[in-house]
Chains A and B, each alone.
Chain A
């Protein structure tokens, strides 16, 4: 759901890494120059990305409250054993699954449909495109405060809209365990469909119009054009948006934390919220680290499997076609 800028690029970048050096590129620079250009980024990266991630991997094997030097109370796999029996953690996985399924079934098709619509020429389409992207640029935490007021239990705006439509009775939008996750999904859709729509729009614009013209000359109907040209050629974009949506869902924090803190009774809790609560509220640093590692592994395994089986042919095609025969 949350399109963090994608992990795909790391792979695409790497795949293109071995371009043959052109003239003038083979120079050997002085070691001092090299070091001066590399050092700032490398130090920053080691200190604030690599060391913390490795440190999380280390502390996950200890019982530790985070105080006083390095952890000493080695616990082996205990934290991970607790993890796989933890109902909140297992619930997090279920909630990720549900939001993922809903996103793919509702949010992405809606974005796709609107993108196809806005690809057509009609007056005002630029205004619509600009408007639909607005929610995406708003800060998640601020959006969450806004929707907290809209779905307020004290006769909020959502209740008033329902009453205006003639439906009576209040709904515990954010306090009913059965519906809170669907309300959050609705907000996520509001916030993120515009991002996916923009990607679809860009993908659609990359399909050459000649294909449609040629097919029309051969007598293809509108439905056939969509089925046999648009859909297959939009494949790569669709697969990437699915990827971004899943990775974003796994990492979901800001919006849900500000809106419900994961409640009521964990009904809307996400992996990152569980980690935050365990680590920063309860001081169970070891256990929270194990949760971090689980989150990392889930993203990593998903990314690897997805790239291996779903995206591989796309990135190959994309690289060879956009980069003039890079191998």
Chain B
């Protein structure tokens, strides 16, 4: 390799690092502010906003971790996310199986109906949804959040699952039929296990959607019992509006589960989002 190309490469790489470094500062600064701010006291936040904590206070983080409300909201968020995911994936898989592998009158019309659900922004439905949930006496109940979330997750989940199910060879199904498996057994014992990767992808999308959901819990869960973490963070800030460091510790701990989840499910998350965004 000649001196010239080596120099060009070093120059090029330096340029890359400068640009990537600037973007990293932009991205990381707010998160570091939360992380470090939680270890400061309010005086340090005022007088030493940019530096490291000195001394490091752990009491804000420990206070949050000892706070029963934080754990209850965390538990509520987890429970609601898991229930939403289970319901939407189960219901969508069943109907996607029918769409993918059976022929009957009205099939395409029915599929179009579900697919058209993609066109309804959630905010459009939230007001009438509130009135309907009030009528069913489902306000302040986790089901009042779980069922609408699952319903709004159906279109995307059905579309993704159907396209995957269609590509499972008919021979597999024929073999199962010859062995005496009916549609139920084929669905539960063969199709679903064969579809594990795509089930993981749609599950991750549903989990993340529920975890981040704010507007629906805001209108449905006015009593504290079932309130979720996003509601908890905004309330905590309202309660302790003068104690910035305490709120930062709460914010950081509320972000932590998503960060850990991202570390483990990064591949499924990215593949789910990009397969949606680029192909269809």
B129 contact from A48, A120, A134, A152, Cβ within 8 A:
A48
Q: Is the CB of A139 within 8 A of B277?
A: no
> What is the size, in residues, of chain B's interface with A at 8 Å between Cβ atoms?
110
For A280, list chain B residues within 8 Å (CB): 127, 130, 219
With A6-B277, A137-B262, A240-B278 as known contacts, state yes or no: A17 contacts B111, CB within 8 Å: yes
Q: Which of A1-57 contact B (CB under 8 A)?
A: 3-14, 16-19, 21-29, 33-34, 36-38, 40-42, 44-45, 47-53, 55-56
Q: Is the CB of A14 within 8 A of B111?
A: yes
Q: Is the CB of A285 within 8 A of B102?
A: no
Q: Is the CB of B183 within 8 A of A33?
A: yes
Q: Is the CB of A141 within 8 A of B278?
A: no
For A251, list chain B residues within 8 Å (CB): 121-123
Q: Is the CB of A292 within 8 A of B151?
A: no
Report the Cα distance A118→B20, complex, angstroms.
Answer: 8
For B17, list chain A residues within 8 Å (CB): 122, 124
Q: Is the CB of A149 within 8 A of B247?
A: yes
For B104, list chain A residues within 8 Å (CB): 28-29, 34
Q: Is the CB of A199 within 8 A of B278?
A: yes
For B274, list chain A residues within 8 Å (CB): 198-199, 202
Report the Cα distance A244→B121, complex, angstroms.
Answer: 12
Report the Cα distance A37→B98, complex, angstroms.
Answer: 7
B52 within 8 A of A: no
For A254, list chain B residues within 8 Å (CB): 212, 214-215, 230
Chain A interface residues (CB < 8 Å from chain B): 3-14, 16-19, 21-29, 33-34, 36-38, 40-42, 44-45, 47-53, 55-56, 59, 66, 113-114, 117-118, 120, 122, 124-125, 128, 130-135, 137-142, 144-150, 152, 155, 157, 160-161, 164, 190, 194-195, 198-199, 202-203, 206, 236-237, 240-241, 244, 247, 250-251, 253-254, 258, 271-272, 275-276, 279-280, 285, 288-289, 292-293, 295-296, 299-300, 303, 315, 318-319, 322
Q: List 17 A–B pairs whose Cβ atoms lie within 8 Å, in order of A's numbering.
A: A6-B277, A10-B119, A12-B279, A14-B112, A28-B104, A38-B95, A40-B91, A42-B110, A117-B16, A128-B24, A132-B23, A152-B244, A155-B46, A280-B219, A292-B123, A292-B124, A315-B280
